[in-house]
Amino acid sequence: MLNKSLPSVSHTYQHHHLDSTRWNAFSPCDGDVVVASSIKSGTTWTQWIAVKLLLSDYNPKSLLDIAPWLDWRTDPQQDPLQDLIALLEAQPHRRIIKTHLPLDGLPYFPQVRYIVLGRDGRDVAVSLWNHYGNYSDELLALLNSHEGVSFPPRPETFQEFWADWISKGWFDWEQDGYPFWSHFHFIQSWWEYRHLPNIIFVHFADLLADLTGEIQRIADHLGVSLSATRRSDIAEEVTFENMKNDAKKYAPLFEGEFKDGPEAFFHKGTNGRWKHILTDQEIAQYESAVTRTLSPECAAWLEHGKDAL
């Protein structure tokens, strides 16, 4: 179902990772780009595509220097919000900002171009399991430094993690995603506004299957003219292998966040591993969670990408 009104904020997201109120300090500029995903859905991949499209002559040392995660609830002593806003306001080019917020927690700006990412939730869960297991003691301590918030260490088994992730939400209005945030509520909140001309949906499976085609779609959405040669060059620069080989630059990590270093951020970059992990009962749980939260059209797109449209 399409929502004919414009998006508006109806929830505040504040916990160990997220603080949606940080967006209150943000002033949009014409042509800003917001890359939005729940988690483990090709966020970093797409941010780099946007960087290559918009800033072809710029070679940042790190993604953190050019495309920050605004709603990341960091330690205010180490990363004051005003410093991040100053970084953005000093950028003379089109800016790229990352968010993991549903659209009901994010201010909507008509002059901003949004790229919304999706991925089959079963692939997300398997990827997130590996991601979660690489959290360092330092990162866990940071996540638990906020008053009244307790972020648990990863459970001993995937089955324990899955049981909570598929059936329990952190926020009262969510029904999955624990202890992070809801994958399904995120995508449904955006899906209802897919008719808006400044919002485009990009699926992880489509990036895998047709990277050059998806780069062209993103370029068209951003109003960037792109030659066939440049499109092929970008596709080569942002392959999974190339990003993993230069992970210190490509991974959006601060020093010490991952036990095994930035290379571990790029784990497999594939789909379908859940088929060898989930039991029939767990697949049934997944299907129930999808039906509970997603419209049929959104559910079909989340599973199949553009083949469902």
Would you state the pLDDT for residue 240?
74
Domain boundaries, the chain: 20-308
How many angstroms separate the CA atoms of 288 and 166, rounded?
Answer: 9
How many angstroms separate the CA atoms of 190 and 200, rounded?
Answer: 10
* CA atoms in the 13 A half-sphere facing the CB of 176: 25
Would you state the pLDDT for residue 24?
97
pLDDT in tens, the chain (309 residues): 677 789 999 999 999 999 999 999 999 999 999 999 999 999 989 998 999 999 877 777 778 788 899 999 876 556 689 989 999 999 999 999 999 999 999 999 999 999 999 999 999 999 999 889 888 888 898 889 888 888 999 999 999 999 999 999 999 999 999 999 999 999 999 999 999 999 999 999 999 999 999 999 999 999 999 999 999 999 998 887 777 666 656 665 555 577 555 555 555 556 677 888 999 999 999 999 999 999 999 999 999 999 887
pTM for the model stands at: 0.92
Alpha helices in the chain (DSSP H): 43-54, 81-90, 121-133, 137-143, 158-165, 183-191, 204-209, 211-222, 228-237, 240-245, 247-250, 280-293, 296-304
| Burial of residue 77 (number of CB atoms within 10 Å: 0-12, 13-18, 19+) | exposed
3-40 confidence digits (pLDDT tens): 778 999 999 999 999 999 999 999 999 999 999 999 99
Q: What fold, for 20-308?
A: Rossmann fold (3.40.50)
How many angstroms separate the CA atoms of 219 and 54, rounded?
Answer: 9
